[in-house]
Structure 1
Amino acid sequence: MSNTQADLAFDARDVVGESMVWDDRRGRLVWVDIIGRRIHRLDPLTGNHESWPTPDLVTSVGLRKDGGAIVGLRKEVALWDFEGPFRTIATIEPDRPGTRLNEGAVAPDGSFWAGTMTNNIGPDDAPIAIARDEGRLYRIGPDGEVTSLSEDRFGITNTMVWTADGRFITADTTKNALYSYAWDKISSRLREPLPFFVDFGRGLPDGSCPDAEGHVWNCRVVGGSCLVRIAPDGRLDRIAELPCSWPTSCAFGGENFDVLFVTSARFTMSADHLQANPQEGGLFAIRPGVRGAPANRFG
Structure 2
Amino acid sequence: MQAKIALNARNIVGESIIWSGDEQALYWVDIGGKRIHRLEIGGDRHDTWPTPDFPTSIGMRAKGGFIVGLAHQVCFWTPDGTFETFVIPEPDWPANRLNEGRVAPDGSFWVSTMQNNLNPDGSPKDMDSHVGAIYRIDPSGAVTQLTPNSYGITNTMAWTSTGNFLFADTLANEIYAFDYDATARTIANRRTIVSGFERGLPDGSCLDSEDALWNCRVVGGAAVARFSEIGERLGLVDLPVSWPTSCTFGGPDLTTLYVTSARFTMTAEHLAAHPQEGSLIAVETGIRGLQEPKFAG
Name the TM tier (shorter chain).
Answer: over 0.9
Does the CA contact (< 8 Å) of 2:130 and 2:149 recur in 1? no
Deviations 1:244-269 (A, max 9, x none): 01000000000000100000000000
State the match for 2:83 in structure 1.
Answer: 86
Q: 1:232 aligns with which of 214, 229, 234?
A: 229
What SS is found at the alignment partner of 1:272?
helix
What SS is found at the alignment partner of 1:201?
coil
What SS is found at the alignment partner of 1:250?
strand
Deviations 1:9-60 (A, max 9, x none): 0110000000000000110000000010000010121210110000110000
Does the CA contact (< 8 Å) of 1:148 and 1:189 recur in 2? no
What SS is found at the alignment partner of 2:270?
helix
Q: 2:14 aligns with which of 14, 17, 34?
A: 17
State the match for 2:277 in structure 1.
Answer: 280
C-alpha separation in 1, matches of 2:163 and 2:65: 27
What SS is found at the alignment partner of 2:271?
helix
What SS is found at the alignment partner of 2:235?
strand
1:152 to partner: Cα distance:
5.4
TM-score normalized with structure 1 length = 0.97
State the match for 1:141 in structure 2.
Answer: 138
Question: Is 1:210 aligned to residue 207 of structure 2?
Answer: yes
Aligned residues: 296
C-alpha separation in 1, matches of 2:149 and 2:235: 30
C-alpha separation in 2, matches of 1:155 and 1:249: 18
State the match for 1:30 in structure 2.
Answer: 27
Q: CA RMSD in A?
A: 0.9
Task: State the AA in 2 paired with 1:232.
Answer: E
C-alpha separation in 2, matches of 1:290 and 1:187: 32
5+ residue gaps, structure 2, are none
State the match for 1:290 in structure 2.
Answer: 287
C-alpha separation in 2, matches of 1:90 and 1:237: 39
Does the CA contact (< 8 Å) of 2:27 and 2:36 recur in 1? yes
Question: Is 1:63 aligned to residue 60 of structure 2?
Answer: yes
State the match for 1:111 in structure 2.
Answer: 108
Does the CA contact (< 8 Å) of 1:147 and 1:188 recur in 2? no
5+ residue gaps, structure 1, are none
Structure 1 segments (4+ residues) deviating >3 Å:
none
What SS is found at the alignment partner of 1:197?
strand
1:135 to partner: Cα distance:
0.2
What SS is found at the alignment partner of 1:297?
coil
What's the % identity of the aligned pairs?
Answer: 49
Question: Is 1:249 aligned to residue 265 of structure 2?
Answer: no
State the match for 1:43 in structure 2.
Answer: 40
C-alpha separation in 2, matches of 1:113 and 1:148: 10
